[in-house]
Amino acid sequence: MILFSIFVIFNIWLIIVYKRAAKIKHNNLIDYLNKIIHTVEIEKHSNIEYWFDTDSHQFLGQGATFEEIIDVVKSRFPDHIFLLKDQGGFCAKTNWQIVPFDELKTLDLATREGK
């Protein structure tokens, strides 16, 4: 009976440790995503556009054209994703062109599971 009690207590302890580790891993992932995904706020003064992160108000880049701004953010944030709500899309490392939000493909789980 004592061995069974020790076994049960040990398993409960393992479950608690596992859940804590999973929560820490989840929080670390959320923190990482918050660092690399920027919702862009665009300010225009004269003919220069300034990009800022909407959440942190961090300066991201500036330029007279989209291409100039992309050159700046490519060099400063090579692995980051930029959500451009005003243009209705996002741009990232793949080709640095704006991809409209409505062109995002949804994952069909049925085909992944072979159904």
- Residue of 68, 38, 31 lying closest to 53 (CA atoms): 38
Distances in Å between the Cα of 51 and the Cα atoms of 61, 69, 103 are 5, 8, 24
Amino acid occupying residue 84:
L
Q: Is the pLDDT of residue 100 over 90?
A: no
What pLDDT, in 10s, does the model give residues 20-47?
Answer: 999 999 999 999 988 888 999 999 999 9
How many Å apart are CA 78 and CA 58, to the nearest integer?
16
What pLDDT, in 10s, does the model give residues 64-87?
Answer: 998 999 999 999 998 888 988 888
- Residue reference for tokens 């793949």: 94
pTM above 0.75, yes or no: no
β-strands 99-100, 81-84: how paired?
unpaired
Written in H, E and C, the secondary structure of 58-75 is CEEEEECCHHHHHHHHHH
Annotated domain spans of the chain: 38-101
Task: Tell me how long the chain is.
Answer: 115
